C-alpha cells in the first residue's frame, strides 16, 4: 500500500513539474507573440500581395439549416485571396440544393485530382457570379474523407479546415496565416484558439456579443479550453512539440498534408493523427519545419450542453488520441522524431492517456486506505488538497495568461465567474471527465480496432516542394 501511495505521489510530482514547465513556456511564447504581432503587422498582411492564398474547406453533412449563413459569413472574411470549398459528404437533406439556389451555382465537369483518396464525387458546382466558391458533392465517407476531397479540389497552396458550424472572427485567417508569411518554407501547420460560443449573440454567422455561457456544463468547458489552449498548446508550440491542431480551425500547407497521406479515415481522431503524421513525415524527410499555435485568432464553436453529448464527445476524443499515438508508435521515445517523439508523445501517453486512470485510482486508493485505517484522515485530506490546489494553479495560471495577453473577458463578473468555475470544476466535473475518458479506452479495447497501418501518400515520392511558384 505504501508502495502504491509513493507511486501516485511520485506521478503527481512528475505531472506537476511537467505542467509547470509547460505553463512557463506558454507564458514566454505569449509574451513573444504579443511583442511580435501588432495591428501594424496585421494591416500590412491584409494589404500585402505576398500573403499566401488560402482554400477554406468546409465539410458539411446535413447542414441545410445553417449552410447559407455559414458560407456567407466565410465569404466576408478579411483576407487578400481565398476561396471557400464546401464538401457535402453525402448529405441526405437539402444542403446541396440550398447551396445551388443560394449562391446561383451550376454543375461543371471537373476531373478529380488524384492526390488523396476519397469517396466518389457526384458533382462539382461553381457559382455563375464572381464568388470564390466551389461545391463538391460526394458520397458519404465521414469528415476526414470530405476534407481529403476538399484538398483535392482546392486550388491554393494553403488549406484551412473548419467545421461547418464554426464561426470564424473576421481577422482569424489573417492572424493564422502570419506564421506562413513570416516563414513560408518551414511553417507546415498553424492552429488558432477555439472559444465556446454558448451564451454569445450570433447573427448571420457573426459573433455580435461575446459572453460566457449561462449553463454550468459549457462553463466548465470554457475553463478546460483555456487550460488546454493557453496552458498547454501555447507551450508545446514554443518547442515545436504541438501534436494537435483543432479540427474546428487549422491552416495547413497543402503539399505537407498530401505528403503525409491526407486525413486518416480509419480513426476518430483524424485531426491529431494528421499533425502527428506531419511531424513524422517532415522528420523522415529531414526537412526543417514547424507546427505552430497562434493564441490570437478565434474560431467560435458550440460546446455540448448535455451530459450525454459531452460524454460521447470526450469518449471519442480520448479514443482518437490513443489511436493517433498507436498509429505512430514508432515515433515514441525515438530521438529521430525530435521533441514530438521524445517529449510530446510520451507526455500525452503518460499524462493524458494514463493520467485519468492514475488519478481515479489514486482517489479510490486514498478512500480505501482511509476507510481501512491505513491512512489517517489528515493525510487523506492533505492528499486531496494537494491534487485540487495544483489543478487550480494550472487553471488560474491559464486564465491569468489569457487575461494578461488578450483580456477577452473584460468584465470583472466574467473574470470572477471563470475563477469560480475553475474551483468548482474539481467538485465532480473533472472526475466524471476522467470516467468518460476511461470509457473511451474501453470502447477501443472492445472494438478491437487498433487503427490502420501507416498511410502512404498517393502522390509522387518527391519530398515536400515549395509551391509558391504554382500559385
CB 56 within 8 A of CB 163: no
The residue assigned the cell 514508432 is 330
Question: Least CB distance from residue 396 to another protein, whole Å?
Answer: 5
343 vs 386 by CB, closer to another protein: 386
The footprint of another protein (CB under 8 A) covers 5, 9, 35-36, 38-41, 43-44, 47-50, 108-111, 113-115, 181-185, 376, 378-379, 382-383, 385-386, 389-390, 392-393, 396-397, 399-400, 403-404, 407, 410, 412, 415, 419, 460, 462, 465-471
Question: Least CB distance from residue 461 to another protein, whole Å?
Answer: 12
Question: Least CB distance from residue 397 to another protein, whole Å?
Answer: 6
Residue 63: which of 107, 106, 99 has the closest Cα?
Answer: 99
140 vs 376 by CB, closer to another protein: 376
350 vs 393 by CB, closer to another protein: 393
248 vs 387 by CB, closer to another protein: 387
What span, in angstroms and rounded, lies between the C-alpha atoms of 117 and 57? 16
43 vs 215 by CB, closer to another protein: 43
Handedness of CA 380, 424, 29, 410 (dihedral sign): negative
Question: Least CB distance from residue 201 to another protein, whole Å?
Answer: 22
CB 115 within 8 A of CB 151: yes
36 vs 456 by CB, closer to another protein: 36
Question: Least CB distance from residue 442 to another protein, whole Å?
Answer: 32
Question: Least CB distance from residue 265 to another protein, whole Å?
Answer: 21
Question: Least CB distance from residue 66 to another protein, whole Å?
Answer: 32
What span, in angstroms and rounded, lies between the C-alpha atoms of 329 and 324? 8
Question: Least CB distance from residue 466 to another protein, whole Å?
Answer: 5
335 vs 407 by CB, closer to another protein: 407
313 vs 467 by CB, closer to another protein: 467
What span, in angstroms and rounded, lies between the C-alpha atoms of 316 and 21? 28
105 vs 327 by CB, closer to another protein: 105
Question: Least CB distance from residue 49 to another protein, whole Å?
Answer: 5
Question: Least CB distance from residue 48 to another protein, whole Å?
Answer: 7
93 vs 182 by CB, closer to another protein: 182
Question: Least CB distance from residue 16 to another protein, whole Å?
Answer: 9
13 vs 435 by CB, closer to another protein: 13
Amino acid at each position: 500500500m505504501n508502495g502504491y501511495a509513493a507511486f501516485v505521489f511520485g506521478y503527481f510530482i512528475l505531472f506537476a513539474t511537467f505542467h509547470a514547465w509547460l505553463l512557463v513556456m506558454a507564458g514566454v511564447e505569449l509574451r513573444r507573440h504579443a511583442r511580435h504581432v501588432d495591428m501594424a503587422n496585421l494591416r500590412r498582411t491584409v494589404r500585402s500581395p505576398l500573403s499566401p492564398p488560402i482554400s477554406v474547406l468546409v465539410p458539411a453533412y446535413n447542414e441545410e439549416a445553417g449552410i447559407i449563413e455559414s458560407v456567407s459569413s466565410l465569404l466576408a472574411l478579411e483576407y487578400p485571396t481565398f476561396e471557400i470549398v464546401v464538401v457535402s459528404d453525402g448529405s441526405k437533406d437539402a444542403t446541396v440544393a440550398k447551396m445551388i439556389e443560394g449562391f446561383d451555382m451550376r454543375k461543371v465537369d471537373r476531373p478529380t485530382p488524384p492526390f488523396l483518396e476519397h469517396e466518389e464525387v457526384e458533382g462539382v458546382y461553381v457559382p455563375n457570379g464572381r464568388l470564390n466558391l466551389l461545391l463538391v458533392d460526394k458520397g458519404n465517407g465521414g469528415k476526414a474523407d470530405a476534407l481529403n476531397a476538399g484538398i483535392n479540389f482546392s486550388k491554393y497552396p494553403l488549406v484551412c479546415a473548419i467545421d461547418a458550424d464554426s464561426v470564424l472572427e473576421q481577422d482569424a485567417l489573417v492572424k493564422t496565416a502570419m506564421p506562413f508569411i513570416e516563414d513560408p518554407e518551414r511553417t507546415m501547420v498553424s492552429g488558432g484558439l477555439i472559444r465556446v460560443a454558448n451564451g454569445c449573440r450570433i447573427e448571420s454567422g457573426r459573433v455580435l456579443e461575446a459572453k460566457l455561457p449561462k449553463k454550468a456544463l459549457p462553463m466548465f468547458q470554457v475553463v478546460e479550453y483555456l487550460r488546454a489552449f493557453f496552458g498547454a498548446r501555447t507551450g508545446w508550440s514554443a518547442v515545436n512539440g504541438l501534436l494537435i491542431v483543432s479540427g474546428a480551425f487549422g491552416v495547413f500547407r497543402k503539399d505537407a498534408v498530401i505528403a503525409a497521406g491526407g486525413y486518416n479515415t480509419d480513426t476518430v481522431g483524424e485531426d491529431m493523427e494528421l499533425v502527428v503524421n506531419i511531424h513524422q513525415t517532415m522528420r523522415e524527410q529531414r526537412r526543417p519545419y514547424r507546427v505552430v499555435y497562434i493564441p490570437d485568432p478565434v474560431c467560435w464553436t458550440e460546446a455540448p450542453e448535455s451530459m450525454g453529448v459531452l460524454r460521447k464527445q470526450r469518449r471519442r476524443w480520448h479514443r482518437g488520441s490513443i489511436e493517433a499515438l498507436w498509429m505512430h508508435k514508432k515515433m515514441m521515445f525515438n530521438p529521430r522524431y525530435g521533441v514530438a517523439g521524445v517529449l510530446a508523445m510520451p507526455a500525452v501517453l503518460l499524462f493524458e492517456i494514463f493520467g485519468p486512470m492514475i488519478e481515479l485510482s489514486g482517489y479510490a486508493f486514498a478512500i480505501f486506505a482511509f476507510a481501512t485505517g491505513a491512512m489517517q484522515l489528515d493525510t487523506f485530506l492533505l492528499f486531496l488538497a494537494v491534487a485540487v490546489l495544483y489543478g487550480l494553479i494550472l487553471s488560474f495560471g491559464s486564465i491569468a495568461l489569457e487575461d494578461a495577453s488578450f483580456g477577452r473577458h473584460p468584465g470583472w463578473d466574467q473574470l470572477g465567474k471563470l475563477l469560480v468555475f475553475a474551483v468548482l470544476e474539481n467538485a465532480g466535473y473533472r472526475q466524471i471527465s476522467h470516467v468518460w475518458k476511461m470509457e473511451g479506452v474501453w470502447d477501443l479495447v472492445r472494438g478491437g480496432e487498433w487503427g490502420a497501418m501507416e498511410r502512404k501518400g498517393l502522390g509522387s515520392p518527391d519530398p515536400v516542394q515549395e509551391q509558391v511558384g504554382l500559385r
